[in-house]
């Protein structure tokens, strides 16, 4: 008997998923770096210039997360099968992202946070 929900993922698939998340974090870091370089002349009512320290912090956070996921990816054995639990899936950011609209509405399903 298996205790709890565990997903079986091949090492090769796990490496691919981690690489995809890394690329996403790298794109986010690039976006925050571009945002940091914006000038007041580029500001609009819909897109004000954000504080430099905020942009720097966010870029560094995404760069760090890409590095963490890369370290994990590089230490995965592609020929093995991994049994992943909820904490593994969350830490590796392996589940699809919630839709942006979902964040605006409270969940009707119980979660560990509620």
What residues form DSSP beta bridges with 9? Answer: 82
Domain boundaries, the chain: 7-38+48-96
Q: In degrees rounded to 5, what are phi and psi of residue 60?
A: -65, -40
pLDDT in tens, 31-75: 999 999 999 999 898 999 999 999 999 999 999 999 999 999 999
Per-residue pLDDT, 1: 73
CB 94 within 8 A of CB 82: no
Gyration radius of the chain over CA positions: 18
């Amino acid at each position: 008997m298996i205790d709890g929900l565990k997903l079986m993922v091949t090492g090769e698939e796990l490496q691919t998923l981690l690489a995809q998340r890394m690329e996403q974090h790298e794109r986010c870091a690039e976006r925050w770096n571009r945002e940091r370089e914006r000038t007041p002349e580029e500001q609009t009512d819909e897109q004000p210039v954000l504080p430099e320290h905020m942009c720097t912090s966010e870029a560094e956070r995404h760069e760090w997360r890409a590095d963490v996921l890369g370290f994990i990816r590089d230490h995965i054995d592609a020929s093995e099968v991994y049994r992943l639990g909820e904490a593994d899936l969350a830490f590796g950011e392996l589940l699809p992202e919630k839709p942006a609209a979902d964040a605006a509405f409270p969940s009707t399903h119980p979660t560990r946070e509620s």
